[in-house]
Structure 1
Amino acid sequence: MKKIMFNDKLGLTQAVLEGRKTMTRRICKYDRPDESWDIVFPVFGSKDYDNEGNLVSPLFGAFGWKNKDGDFTGWNNPLYKFGEVVAIAQSYRDSGYSPDSLDRHPKDLSVRGLMKNSAGWNNKMFVKSYACKHHIKITNIKMERLQDISEEDCLKEGIIKGKCGSESTHFMDAYYVPKEKQPYCTPRDAFAALIDKVSSKGTWESNPFVFAYEFVLVD
């Protein structure tokens, strides 16, 4: 099973667990070689659908680039697949493990010692997916430019709608990055600030192609 990481500093993991964040955007692994290359998508046949008519091909959501000579870059595949259940990465501490329990899982007999002394006690990068206690299920995948995000999707990404101002100046709608107090006028402004904090400054301005994953919390 794969695992997925959300930013803890900005409260995004907690937002997922509380059902306030139901989408995530991940930058595609490579961009268009240059503007002369055309975007291409897979062509699906009957074998790519299940008996209920659902598209189940591993190329669901994939795309690539092809130039006028027919040269092809290969498929830019989404990391997570439609219908896939993915573990939410959390440290052993945040997952509620006992600090004095054995730092090992029945499937990982090579690890010894107490949980509180393990690398995964505070760092979720060292926690195996089978030891994660919460999961999401991917319910939709789409490809788009980062700046094509809708205001509705900004809220699904965890942006918080609130108010700013005072009784004397009148309250106005405002939008916030989780765990921060800076108000923004629109959900897109807030998301632009969020993505630059999560993926590095300048990400919003560079406007890369992204896979947008929609999901539901399973447990």
Structure 2
Amino acid sequence: MKKIMFNDKYGLTQAVLDGRKTMTRRVCKYDKPNETYDIVFPVFEPNDYDNDGNIVSPLNYAFSWKNDKGDFTGWNIPKYKVGEVVAIAQCYKSLGMNPELALDDKDGIGFYTKTKFAPGWENKMFVRADLMPHHIRITDIKVERLQNISDEDCMREGVEFSQEQYKYDGAKSYFVQNITEIGSRWNRMFCKHFGTPRGAFAALIDKVSGKGTWESNPYVFVYEFELVD
């Protein structure tokens, strides 16, 4: 089973578990090099289909860029497939697992190994998917430019509407939490409430994917999903 990671600092893992976040965008590996390149899709052969007519090729939903000279960028292949159940990565410590429980794990990514904690104890990048208690199911995949996101999809990405701010001054206000600052103060960037969902999402994507991501407007895989457990 595969696993998927959501940003904890800005509350996205919790947003998924709460059912507020039902969509995620991941930047494609190959962007359009220049205007001489056109988008191309794989051509499937009979053996790329199963007996029910479903595409089983690893290039399903893949695309690439190619110019009239035949220059080819390589395939952008989605990491997940429609219908696939994926484990939500959470570090062992956050799940309250026993740190002294030693696993027979050849990769050394159990909870506790000999005299030190394994990486998965505090870093969910190294956890085992089969030990994760929560899962999502991929329900749809599409490709689009990042800035083509709608206000509705911004909300499905984890942006929240501030009822308190609306009651205070009557203005619509949208924000994304910085979990590390709750209880002390809001992160300076995110104590600012945005007038539109897109404004809040643009700030969020620059935080989780790197400064300038929104402005560069890359092509992204859009994964829609539902919480399984």
TM-score (norm 1): 0.87
Residue 166 (structure 1) shift: 5.2
Alignment of 1:1-219 (within 5 A): 1-44=1-44, 48-49=48-49, 54-99=54-99, 101-104=100-103, 106=104, 108=106, 112-113=113-114, 117-163=117-163, 164=165, 169=169, 171-179=170-178, 180-219=190-229
Supply the distance in 2 between the matched residues of 1:149 and 1:51 (Cα, whole angstroms).
36
Unmatched tracts of structure 2, length 5 or more? 179-189
Q: Does the CA-based 8 Å contact 2:138-2:225 persist in structure 1?
A: yes
Distance 2:57 2:36 in 1: 28
- The structure in which a higher percent of residues are helix is 2
CA distance in 1, matches of 2:58, 2:82: 9
Q: Residues of 1 paired with 2:159 and 2:66: CA distance?
A: 36
**In structure 2, how many angstroms separate the alpha carbons of the residues matched to 1:48 and 1:149?**
32
* Secondary structure, counterpart of 1:13 in structure 2: helix
Which secondary structure state, in structure 2, belongs to the residue aligned with residue 136 of structure 1? strand
**3-state SS, counterpart of residue 87 of structure 1:** strand
TM-score (norm 2): 0.83
Deviation at 1:213, TM superposition (A): 0.5
| CA RMSD between the two structures | 2.3
**Runs of 4+ in structure 1 displaced over 3 angstroms?**
43-57, 106-111
Residue 8 (structure 1) shift = 0.6
Q: Letter of the aligned partner of 1:175 in structure 2?
A: Y
Compute the displacement of 1:194 (Å).
0.4
**Distance between the aligned counterparts of 1:131 and 1:95, measured in 2?**
10
Deviation (angstroms), 1:10? 0.5
Report percent identity of matched pairs. 61
Deviations 1:150-191 (A, max 9, x none): 111111101001232555x4x222111133432111111110
Secondary structure of 2:162 counterpart: strand
